[in-house]
Amino acid sequence: MINFTPEKVWEKACRDLAIARQLGEKTIIISTSTGGTLALKLAATFPDEIWGLINISPNIEDGQLGSSLLNTPWGDEISYLIFTGDHRKIEHPEPLAEQYWDTIYPVISLRNLQQLVETTMVPETFQKISCPVLTLYYYENYIEKDWRVDVEEFPKVHEELGTPDDRHHLQKLRTPKTHFIGSDIKSKNWLSGLDAATAFCEKVMHMEPVSPAN
C-alpha cells in the first residue's frame, strides 16, 4: 500500500492480463475486495479477452460511513485526524494473518483507494461487461454482514451488467463470517465459496472438471 495510486494499480492489472494471455487462451479472473474493482474494470475495458469473473466481496463502494469524504480536498487531513498520524496500524487476531496482510500503511493510500473506486465503479463500467459474472459475499442480516464493503450496492451492479441475465449470479453466503471468504485463515467456512464458484463454472460457464494427473 506504500506506493498505491489508481494509475499504478491499473497499470499492474493490465500487465497481469498480458501475462495471462501468454499462459492460455481464456482468462477467468478470481478476485477479492479491491481486486474485484480492477477485475470489473478489466472486463469492461477488454471485453473480448475476459472469459469470466468470480468476484469475492468486490470493492464497489466502501462500507464505512463517510468514506467518500476521503476523495475531497480535505481527504488527507481527515485521514490524519481519524488515525492520529500519517500511518494506520492494523492488528489481526489470527497469528498467521500478519504473514499475508498489511499491518501498517500510509493513510494517504486510503484517499487513493477511494479515488480508484469512485472513478471506476460507475454504471458505464458495468454496462460494458458482457462475460459471465459471479459475485459472492458474506451476509446473514443487516447487522451480521460484510462491513468492509457496501453489500447493498451488489444487486444494483448486477442490474446494470451488460451480461445476459442467465449468465450472472449474485450469491449470499451465511457461514464465512468475514470479508475474506476464500481465506482459510480468516474465513469460518472457506469451502462455501469454493463450492459456489465450482458450481457456477460448471453450470453457467459449462466448464468440465479435469481429473488429477496420476
The answer to whether residue 152 is domain-embedded is no
The answer to whether residue 20 is domain-embedded is yes
The answer to whether residue 1 is domain-embedded is yes
Residue 128 has pLDDT above 70, yes or no: yes
The answer to whether residue 50 is domain-embedded is no
**How many domains, in total, are found in the chain?**
1
Give the length of the chain. 214
Q: What is the pTM of this model?
A: 0.89
The answer to whether residue 84 is domain-embedded is yes
Choice between 130 and 92, residue whose per-residue pLDDT is larger: 130
Domain range for 103: 1-26+64-122
The answer to whether residue 176 is domain-embedded is no
The answer to whether residue 162 is domain-embedded is no
pLDDT score at 34: 95
Measured CA to CA, the distance from residue 163 to residue 79 in angstroms comes to: 37
